[in-house]
Structure 1
Amino acid sequence: MEDSPSTTKPHLLLIPFPFQGHIIPSAHLALKLAAAGFSVTFVNTEAVHHQIALANDEYLARFSGADGGHRDIFAGARSSGLDIRYELVGDGLPVTFDRSLNHDEFAVQLLHSFHGKVEALAGRLPPISGLVADTFFVWPATLARSLGIPYITFWTEPALVFSLYYHMDLLRHHGHFGSQAENRKDTITYLPGVAAIEPTDLMSYLQDSDTTTVVHRIIFKAFEEAHQADFILANTVAELETETIAAVHREKPFYAVGPIFPAGFTRSAVATSLWAESDCSQLLDSRPRGSVLYISFGSYAHVEKKVLEEIAHGVMASGASFVWVLRPDIVGSNDPEPLPAWFKKETAGRGIVVQWCRQAEVLSHPAVGGFLTHCGWNSILESVWSGVPMLCFPLLTDQFTNRRLVVGDWKVAVDLGGGSGRMAVRREDVAEKIGRLMRGEEGVMAREEVKKVRSILQGALAGGGSSSRNFDRFVEDLKCRVSSRRPV
């Protein structure tokens, strides 16, 4: 933090959306950009940093001063020669404010107050050559224009989801979204690059009848800004979404550079976890190949307690060994014991329940044979990279659309159901589908398909692969763009 970014390199300001699933790929994008010859300033909120510091105190202490210091998450990366700095801004709320329990109040701050903090920071930094900001922010194009620099919108989800949001006007025009009466239920066939999609496969916010919420206001404004972006950088793979990407690219420069993983995949040089990570290796090392079900519903979504109880009954009845991640606020911050009291006792010796873990490390362990997932995009990419088929239980936002990709298009997953407002699930179905995934013919077929998709991901990142070429092209295009104008 003490040193200024190099004045001999183009300087990028990179700002992730302050949720775990956005921070992880953003941090590793920052490392890639620094390795490609940029000077990078990475910005976290004070609240996010506080959580990271609490969860990773021992790791971060190795790179800070004797007094504990600032706990700079990029200090280790910088000591290896990367020109990257770390800054913090407030989000308008106290660090100790419970953002999980008071999501709407937090969202209001992101909508109305956060941009002012970023603008003030930009004014204190050395000259900025480009702004790389998460697509869900509501101010990046406006800020970039005021600074006279290009805006690179960083999209952390599939191109399909980007295209659906990008074309909300078409969905509204045809009555599939935002209808004052009832949204149409017939198949959607008019979106550029999307052959056909069912309304039930739209993101949860595009299925809602009430479009006046603060989250909807954020989405609407964010995609007004995205329409003004100079470049779109996306954590997806060209071969997996060819037609959708081609259609978006016709409107705006779109670079598919995913999957964005840390070097080595299982361990990162940057601390990004918001919760302390448990070591699950003792159980995994003691189990046969492909026998353990990994369960996680991600870093953000909440699950009703009655739904967790049905899933718990199903897991118990399935007989499968398991590692189950249940973060402390999965039901709510005021309910730290979400599972039924009997569950741990009844399943003792078969599995473990932890608050958080190194997911990539667990998924890549040979004992893991299936993943019961909420279908977050990071989880999907990590599962495919590890060759692990999935059992899908989406909860909100892009997770329904992601399920369409992995179940319908790629055929690497089994559908369990789920949904925001559609969360009915029966314990018998849970047990049956775990069995089908872990021991049945459906699981065998999904394992074969996941090998094929994994090969596509590996090929994309290899030298000369599509993501590698796209990243190099993006770097060249951006450097050409920033060299043609004087940074401010």
Structure 2
Amino acid sequence: MSVPTTVLVLASPGQGHVNPLMILSQRLVEYGCNIIFVNTESIHNKVITSMGNQEGGFTEQSRIKLVSIPDGLGPDADRSNLGELLDSIMKSMPAKLEKLIEDLRLKDGVTLSCIVIDVVVAWALEIARKIGIKGVLFYPSSATALALQHSIPKLIEDGIIDSNGLPITQKTFQLSPSFPPMDTTCIWWAKTYPLLHGNEIFNQFVHLMQTVEPPEWWLCNSTPDLEPGALSYTPKLLPIGPLLRSYEDDKERSLGQFWEEDLSCINWLDQQPHASVVYLAFGSSTLFDNKQFAELALGLELANRPFLWVVRQDSDSDSDYNNKVSLPNEFKGNQGKIVKWAPQQKVLSHPAIACFVSHCGWNSTIEGLSNGVPFLCWPYFADQFLNKTYICDALKVGLGFDSDETGLISHEEIKDKVDKVLKDGNIRSRAHVLKEKLLNNLKDGGTSSENLNKFVKWLNE
């Protein structure tokens, strides 16, 4: 009897990084693999807590084993400082990862066949090479974002960005003839967290591109019909998307979440008319000030439509990263439901959903597109601005919001855009056509299905 292939999956500490790697892990389990899923300790604890009383994913029978290693910061450190966190991880985690792999071999008798590595922690490729294990990179954002990252030297040479990665002028540029023209607002690393210095992140990317020797396999959550230009520009990138969660039943929670999903919203959606609900979710990092949060609430009230709104509660920390907002007194919210965290794939696939007000993180973008849902785009940082441009201008399946001279998106503007996107039959029609194209990739013979088959065959060699 053959021994199952065991794969170690190493995620960087972000919800948008853990999610697609967990879905990929579940796909590999379907192919007969065993998974050792490694998070930092702080993220591991969140994932365990979010499961509540549900034991799924943590039993001895499960083929996904969740383990953790320290990130090198103290228990009270502010992990919202991404530059500091990544620096600490790079200094302290390599030795700990090597020890974990050795302990798995000596104490548990586990021999790894491969390490699948989030590109943000690509230093782990060197550990894989050192101990003679196959190493694979996974890119959690769009292929277009990676193409831009690869083009940093060219962008500097062409006078598009300076040596700190910041746009020099507002202009349009083209990476290659196969790419649509882009403007400098697409340079996503210049739009990092408001609490961080952009060049910290930029320097990390430059270092990564200069020091990492490309592995044989580099996987991404995309499809050729979604990003043809970017995938031809970065031919080593292998699309295996869309990576979508599948559930056995409505009561099952998603493994890998940082907060417990409120499953009551599915019952609430069951009671709403077809294509009537405005769904709002802004991911794991977006912060609102009270004034903008109030305008959003009043905009929903003015739109006078059913809504499902995810309002994250980050009460586990006293840092500036907290989502400390309160609803205005005028807000009644009688037509809607507010939850702390939602099972997003279940929500977006529900027939009651009419549109998706989104921060445009790549996972949310893929989920919305794969369910044929029109977008209202509200990007917050980094590649979300690039994704918004793609959704609105290239794919034409959504609209953006216009802010006033103070940067505020007013409640009237919110109502206006909700009305516009719901009345636009062309947007909905294009969204449905794109959904079918994306899902065809997952069928037998589809590009992503074939790519994953090839990858698993290579794993088992």
Q: TM-score, normalised by structure 1?
A: 0.83
Distance 1:39 1:193, change over 3 A: farther
1:301-356 Cα offsets, whole Å, 9 max, x none, are: 3233332222223222222221111111399856665133315xx33311122211
1:25-174 matches, cutoff 5 A: 25-60=20-55, 73-75=57-59, 78-79=61-62, 82=63, 84-94=64-74, 97-100=77-80, 102-126=81-105, 127-174=111-158
CA distance in 1 between counterparts of 2:377 and 2:280 reads 10
CA distance in 1 between counterparts of 2:197 and 2:383 reads 16
Query: Which ranges of structure 2 fall in alignment gaps of 5 or more residues?
Result: 106-110
CA distance in 1 between counterparts of 2:19 and 2:131 reads 27
Structure 2 residue aligned with 1:470: 451
Post-superposition shift, 1:89? 1.0
Post-superposition shift, 1:135? 0.7
Structure 1 residue aligned with 2:206: 220
1:126-275 matches, cutoff 5 A: 126=105, 127-179=111-163, 183-191=168-176, 193-205=178-190, 213-249=199-235, 252=236, 254-264=237-247, 271-275=255-259
CA distance in 1 between counterparts of 2:326 and 2:134 reads 48
CA distance in 2 between counterparts of 1:262 and 1:451 reads 19
1:4-43 matches, cutoff 5 A: 8-43=3-38
1:274 partner amino acid: F
CA contact 1:388–1:447 (8 Å) conserved in 2: yes
1:346-385 matches, cutoff 5 A: 346-385=331-370
Distance 1:103 1:479, change over 3 A: same
Question: Is structure 2 residue 293 aligned with structure 1 residue 277?
Answer: no
1:237 partner amino acid: T
CA contact 1:131–1:144 (8 Å) conserved in 2: yes
CA contact 2:244–2:345 (8 Å) conserved in 1: no
Post-superposition shift, 1:248? 0.9
Backbone CA RMSD of aligned residues: 3.1
Q: Is the partner of 1:92 in helix, strand or coil?
A: coil
Post-superposition shift, 1:188? 1.3
Post-superposition shift, 1:453? 0.7
Which is worse superposed, 263-272 or 284-293? 263-272
Q: Is the partner of 1:347 in helix, strand or coil?
A: coil
CA contact 1:137–1:222 (8 Å) conserved in 2: no
Structure 2 residue aligned with 1:402: 387
CA distance in 1 between counterparts of 2:133 and 2:230 reads 28
CA contact 1:132–1:154 (8 Å) conserved in 2: yes
Post-superposition shift, 1:477? 3.4
Q: Is the partner of 1:57 in helix, strand or coil?
A: coil
Structure 2 residue aligned with 1:451: 432
Structure 2 residue aligned with 1:306: 291
CA distance in 2 between counterparts of 1:269 and 1:296 reads 18
1:99 partner amino acid: R
Post-superposition shift, 1:257? 0.6
Q: How many equivalent pairs are there? A: 450
Post-superposition shift, 1:58? 0.8
1:183 partner amino acid: I
Query: Which ranges of structure 1 fall in alignment gaps of 5 or more residues?
Result: 1-5, 64-72, 481-488
CA distance in 2 between counterparts of 1:93 and 1:208 reads 20
Distance 1:478 1:294, change over 3 A: same
Q: 2:376 aligns with which of 379, 385, 391?
A: 391
CA contact 1:324–1:354 (8 Å) conserved in 2: yes
Identity over the aligned pairs, expressed in percent?
27
Post-superposition shift, 1:291? 1.5
CA distance in 2 between counterparts of 1:269 and 1:280 reads 13
Post-superposition shift, 1:452? 0.6
Question: Is structure 2 residue 319 aligned with structure 1 residue 339?
Answer: no
Q: TM-score, normalised by structure 2?
A: 0.88
Post-superposition shift, 1:422? 9.5
2:170 partner amino acid: K
